[in-house]
Chains A and B, each alone.
Chain A
Amino acid sequence: MTTLTHPTPAQSDDADKPIIIRTLRLNKFYGQGEATTYALRGVDATIYRGEFIAVLGPSGSGKSTFFNMIGALDSPSEGRVLIDEVDVAQLSASELAFLRCQKIGYIFQSYNLIRYMTALENVTVPMAFAGVKPEEARRRGMGLLKMVGLENRWSHRPIEMSGGQQQRVAIARAMCNEPKILLADEPTGNLDLKTGEDILNIMQRINKERGVTIVCATHDHRLLNICDRIMWIRDGLVERIEARHNLKITVGRIGGEA
């Protein structure tokens, strides 16, 4: 592994923008010797503060692995992940927990709500981990539920809610400690078109109104309408990264891919 104490941004035209996440020759493989399978093979990527980046790629391309790496949910086999220029691998368990709690919000394809908690309790759990007082957490939780339009369903358990509603609770939960980064792994993967669109709208609002950096791994091409940049991943490598305005996009379709 190369030691890079002051890494330089990869793309010159974006050099002035503040960087929030950077990966350096990110490798992830499972197994050993002959049986080694590579999920990521040297991914170098830079994500800027406040942007909305879509990560596209077919199944098994390493999208989710990349997502887990930059979210500090899994450790890379080789290479480094820098969040706010801090190497994730250098962090202790409690610093990692702090990072996950305060700086990053996660949204999963399968919502991953805690089954036995109500919507409000689900939203307030990370605040308890952050040391927010219960009354304050309740107040903020209700505000967040209002933002996603579920203030009337705060007492419902995940099992009593539709997929779209569960995903909205998950978004509220991800936003509860006001993170700088929102990572979404196929947030609309399990949803129908209409509810999927609601989710995307909420995400767009979060990006625009709160300036939260959003990284969204997806198959959903509608995302291309709202994102700033698109990153294609194929076979564990970054195929290309394009700004949206460089692509010819018609609504609901991509014209950029030749």
Chain B
Amino acid sequence: MKPITVKDQVRLSWGRCIGLALSGMSYRMFRSLITMSILSLAVAFLDHVLSYSVMEQNTRQSAFAQLQEFRLVGEWVTRLSGPESVPQVLATLADNNTQRLAEYQHWSNQDAASIQQAQQIARRLRDLYAFFDNLPLASRGVILGDLDPMQAVRQLQDPAALQAFSQRLSQVNVTLPLAAEEFTRLASQDQPLLWTMIEKINHGQQQAIAQIRAQTNQVGPVELLASRPAQLDEVLRQAGFQVDADLLNRLQVQASRLADLQRLKPLIEIPTVRAAMARRLRINPKEVDLPGTINWIRGQSRAQDLAADLKPYTADHPLDGPRLVFLADSQRRQEKLQAIVGDEPPTAMRGLLDLPTRTRWLVIVSFLVCAIGVINAMMMSVTERFNEIATMKCLGALDGFLLQVFFVEAIVQGLVGGLIGLALGFGLALLRGWISLGNMIFTCLPISDILIGGGVALGAGLILGAVAAIGPAWTAARLAPMEAMRVE
């Protein structure tokens, strides 16, 4: 009697598997469609959340960056108007902006090492202020009184005040983030150095601004930037400001817009202009104001009308149609960008893998929803076919064949459902983005992040689907055929 020997292990070709899976799916068309639609919905949901969050993040960041352009001129106008406030210098020092540090070095007339030292002190002070700011109100009141952290710490240069401060500190049982001697050194030795440095910087700034004024016929900063006299680059550089031609060009555009806005303000008050505007807006002349007027300016023809009204009063420096259109459009754009950015500035550019906490939870939850949907759909479609699996086993199918067939089927269903889901999810994300953020969504699509998100969603659908299909198929395949047939 010879025992059974399986010489050449039979392999089922993948082509044959795909054929089997496809014919099975087309026969159970309705069931497969349901499975695939559940799959596609799950993938769509996950992809929607992923792509929408990266889109929103990217759009907000891009809007914020564009807003900076509008804010740039305001910042420079402030800088050219007078010395910076002490907290501002402190914050700039603590930051790591090499251009600004170079400017400070110039104004304070110190070497790089002492600037660096000031920077170290500024950083430690910043951390200390933040520590006091985060204290509970009660202990903060005891330690600082009514003063803000900067004022309070500044007073500690006096040894007696430092003594009293330490006593108050022990009263409320608060431990500083610094060791005691370090704190003492910071308060009594380092602090004076910093304040002297800041005074020097402020003094340098004052001198620089006076110098600029003298060399440019005492013009105000807005007009100065808007008119941009030929020697401006040189004058600013001599005064210690780090500027280049590109920056000044950008500043010029924005400054002339700002200048136009400032000039338009009194012009609106002129009775004839006001009456004409009131007629156009069909409101009481008293209600005519600058925002309303700017909002009304849309397109060249309206701008030309208003320019015609203004002509008698702007003979020296005409405010023509194109300038008004640019003004109004910029204003509107700024408002729109502000609406997209919202109150909080967006966090620094982060990718898909480092989403804000709230979004991350949303992604985790939608991943779970996706997983449950996919697993349920696939397990259902396999479990109801135990009989078929048992029959195949009776016909001599190896366990591997069954797994192969079900794997291929899961992959085919996962691919079809997943791709539909991706299209659906991405489309919905685009639509939602367009509704909530406007056209800007299309100009700053983070393609690579969206592709990664799509890959993650599709991969999740495929892998979960395959695992969920193979699990029960494996269970059924390992059972004796008759036991599998009994399972209903």
Contacts and interface: CB of A to CB of B under 8 A. Distances in A.
Interface residues of A, number: 37
A106 B388 CA distance: 14
A68 B391 CA distance: 13
A114 interface: yes
B12 A112 contact: no
A247 B374 CA distance: 62
Given A74-B480, A131-B10, A114 B28 contact: no
B394 A106 contact: yes
B412 interface: no
Contact of B3 (A86, A101, A112): A86
Given A75-B480, A115-B27, A129-B396, 15 more contacts: A73-B482, A84-B4, A86-B1, A86-B3, A91-B4, A93-B399, A95-B6, A99-B396, A100-B394, A100-B395, A116-B23, A116-B26, A116-B27, A131-B8, A177-B396
The 3 closest A-B pairs by CB, nearest first: A101-B396, A116-B27, A85-B1
Interface of A: 68, 71, 73-75, 84-86, 91, 93-95, 97-103, 106, 112-117, 121, 125-126, 128-131, 134, 157, 173, 177
B4 A129 contact: no
Contacts of A97: 393, 396-399
A98 B27 CA distance: 29
A129 B10 contact: yes
Nearest to A100: B396
Given A85-B1, A129-B401, A74 B10 contact: no
A29 to B, nearest CB: 14
A130 B398 CA distance: 10
Given A95-B6, A125-B392, A73 B397 contact: no
B250 to A, nearest CB: 68
B289 interface: no
Interface string B115-131: 00000000000000000
B483 A74 contact: yes
A134 B394 CA distance: 20
B387 interface: yes
| Most chain B beta carbons < 10 A, residue from A75, A85, A97, A106 | A97
Contact of A128 (B12, B28, B393): B12
B12 A94 contact: no
B482 A112 contact: no
A126 B4 contact: no
B417 interface: no
Nearest to B483: A74
Contacts of A113: 391
Contacts of B483: 74
B135 to A, nearest CB: 68
A68 B393 CA distance: 13
A57 to B, nearest CB: 18
Contacts of A117: 23
A113 B392 CA distance: 9
Nearest to A132: B10
B204 to A, nearest CB: 86
B151 interface: no
B358 interface: no
B4 A93 contact: no
A125 B392 CA distance: 8
Contacts of A115: 27, 388
5 contacts: A94-B9, A95-B6, A97-B399, A112-B387, A114-B388
Contacts of B322: none
B387 to A, nearest CB: 7
A83 B394 CA distance: 16
B396 A102 contact: yes
A95 B24 CA distance: 27
B257 to A, nearest CB: 71
Contacts of A121: 23
Contacts of A99: 4, 396
B88 to A, nearest CB: 76
B223 to A, nearest CB: 83
Contact of B396 (A68, A116, A126): A126
Contacts of A125: 392, 395
Contacts of A106: 394-395
Contacts of B286: none
Interface string B449-488: 0000000000000000000000000000010111100000
